[in-house]
Amino acid sequence: MFGWLTQGGRTPGWLAVSFDETTVEFAHARRVRGPKAAQVSTYATRDLGADASIDRVKRDHKLSSYQCSTMLRPGEYDLLLVEAPNVPRAEMKSALRWKVKDMVDYAMDEATIDFLDIPAEEGAAGRAHQLYAVLARNEVIQARIQKFHDAGLALSVIDIPETAQRNIAALLEPAGRGLALLYIDRAQSLLTITCRGELYLARRIDLGLDHLEATDGPGDAHNRMLLELQRSFDHLDRQFPFAALAKVVLAPTPSETGLRAHLAENLDLPVEELRFADILKLDDGVLLDGEAGWRLFHVLGAALRHEAKAL
């Protein structure tokens, strides 16, 4: 996303790092040739405290040898769907500042802005060109940069979970068809719909594992999730009919929720559960099932960023 930082690292690929006062999570991936387009070489979640510091984790895992990215957390940025200003791409960020200035509660001179283009259907005319504007307060960005500087890590890019999830979805898409990918956190879920590697829809749903695990079988939360997905798919059909969905994929979860079976029974689409081993080449000893795949899902997605993309 915000990719104007100091370049660093000598190891090919990206090391995505997320850390706070208590925990550090990271994963390294690089693009490779073959049926599996990316290789994951390492990942970890380490508790920080008396027995481990960020300096020790950095030394133990040689983190200084990598090109690093990180992510903003929900609440640290705004993602706004707007009609694209009719200006050259080089002037887009400046034009967007005027476009969205009344849509957030902070001044534009206090914000860093970037954008995600939503490509229209080739040859389509008369349809408004849309994009996602991504904004974060300067103080949030500067605090994240300073945090990595203090840790001695060369931060090159700051992403958001939506783009990280898009990177994973791009490895799952059937050619020329859309794909819905649903990640379920404790309190909420993130739905993305992509086609040809581009993000066409991203929305947060106020339903999470805590709701789905509250019943032994399908309950109100399962039906509400089904309804939210159906509404999203109907919106996609109206706005982007050329990105017709091929299937729905559920990200790993640490427990069985019964959601896949419920959705498969009630949607006219295949519903699958994601297994990282099916789409990624994993080094010996790298396992990304269940808890690890769920906890590190967006960290892995950030590590899978494609250098050719602007965001």
Q: For residue 112, tell me if it sits in a domain.
A: yes
Q: Which residues pair with 183 in a beta bridge?
A: 190
Domain carrying residue 112: 78-137
**Whole-number pLDDT of residue 64:** 86
- Close Cβ partners of 146 (under 8 Å, ≥ 6 residues apart): none
- The answer to whether residues 37 and 31 touch, using CB atoms and an 8 Å cutoff, is yes
Q: For residue 229, tell me if it sits in a domain.
A: yes
**Whole-number pLDDT of residue 61:** 85
Final residue of a structural domain among 121, 137, 153:
137
| Secondary structure (3-state) at 192 | strand
Are 131 and 184 in the same domain? no
Q: For residue 57, tell me if it sits in a domain.
A: no
Q: Which residues pair with 250 in a beta bridge?
A: 182, 273
Final residue of a structural domain among 137, 163, 183:
137
Q: For residue 302, tell me if it sits in a domain.
A: no
Q: Record the tokens describing residue 60, joined without a space.
A: 């133990």
Residues in the chain with pLDDT values less than 50: 4, 308-311
Are 194 and 267 in the same domain? yes
For residue 225, what is the domain's CATH number?
A: 3.30.420.40
For residue 93, what is the domain's CATH number?
A: 3.30.1490.300
Q: For residue 43, tell me if it sits in a domain.
A: no
Q: For residue 145, tell me if it sits in a domain.
A: no
What are the respective helix, strand and coil percentages of the chain, to the nearest 5? 30, 30, 40
**Whole-number pLDDT of residue 309:** 47
Distance from C-alpha of 230 to C-alpha of 269, rounded to nearest angstrom: 11
Look at the chain and report how many structural domains it folds into. 2
Q: For residue 182, tell me if it sits in a domain.
A: yes
Q: For residue 301, tell me if it sits in a domain.
A: no
**Whole-number pLDDT of residue 109:** 95
pLDDT tens digits, one per residue of 53-91: 888 888 888 888 888 999 999 999 999 999 999 999 999
SS3 string of 37-102? CEEEEEEEEEECCCCCCHHHHHHHCCHHHEEEEEECCCCCCEEEEEECCCCCHHHHHHHHHHHHCC
Residue located via tokens 């032994």: 216
Rounded to two decimals, what is the model's pTM? 0.93
**Whole-number pLDDT of residue 7:** 56
Are 194 and 265 in the same domain? yes
